[in-house]
Amino acid sequence: MKEITAKIIGATIEVHKTVRPVFLQSADEECLVHEMRLRGLTFEGQVPLPVVYKSVHLDCAGTT
């Protein structure tokens, strides 16, 4: 668990150092996905998350 955590934190720091806070969230996310894959991490990206907000059903899904 500590090894995976270190890889995730390392990937996040690398993206932050490389792109700084210049990109949009979606661009930062794509950079992080790439960096995590470079580090051999396998994961499921954004998944559909049904949300009800003030009686409205929202489809909070990603595409990664």
Query: CA-CA distances (angstroms) from residue 12 to 6, 8, 15, 20?
Result: 10, 6, 5, 11
Per-residue pLDDT tens over the stretch 5-64: 999 999 999 988 888 766 677 888 889 999 999 999 998 888 888 889 999 988 776 544
Phi/psi region, residue 17 (left: phi>0; alpha: psi -120 to 50; beta: rest), is: alpha
Q: What is the pLDDT of residue 62?
A: 54
Q: What is the pLDDT of residue 46?
A: 81
Q: What is the pLDDT of residue 29?
A: 87
Q: What is the pLDDT of residue 50?
A: 83
